[in-house]
Amino acid sequence: RNDQEQELAAARQEAAAIREKARADGQKIVDEARARAEAESERVLTAGRQQLSAERVAASTELRGEVGTLASDLASKIVGESLTDDERSRRVIDRFLDDLESSQTTTR
């Protein structure tokens, strides 16, 4: 009977060890999956931020060109003659837009 009790105690210890190992293995799997998900989430967010920034720069550049063209056309109509010096008019428009942007930045 004593041998049976010892075998039963050993079996219980082995079962407890197996359960503990299974629990630890399960937790490790969950932790690894969580880490992969967090890394993927951060990668997607970073890519999204970079794309948004690139699109913002492209939109700003496009709008700057359109505003420049419209301003040049409007100035030509006001003056009553064509502004033929494209480089000079571009510099004037760029300076105006830079001043406008800096005044908006300081008022925020």
Residue 54 token pair: 């690139």
Beta strand residue intervals within the chain, DSSP E: none
Spell out the per-residue pLDDT of the chain, length 108, in tens. Answer: 788 999 999 999 999 999 999 999 999 999 999 999 999 999 999 999 999 999 999 998 888 888 877 877 777 777 665 555 666 667 777 777 787 778 777 765
Backbone angles phi, psi at 84, to 5 degrees: -80, -25
Please state the pTM of the whole predicted model: 0.52
Give the domain range for residue 12: 2-107
Can you tell me the distance from the alpha carbon of 29 to that of 52, in angstroms, rounded to the nearest whole number?
34
d(CA 41, CA 39): 5
* Separation of alpha carbons 43 and 31, rounded Å: 18
Residues 6+ apart with CB under 8 A from 99: none
Burial of 62 (0-12, 13-18, 19+ CB in 10 A): exposed
The total number of structural domains that make up the chain: 1
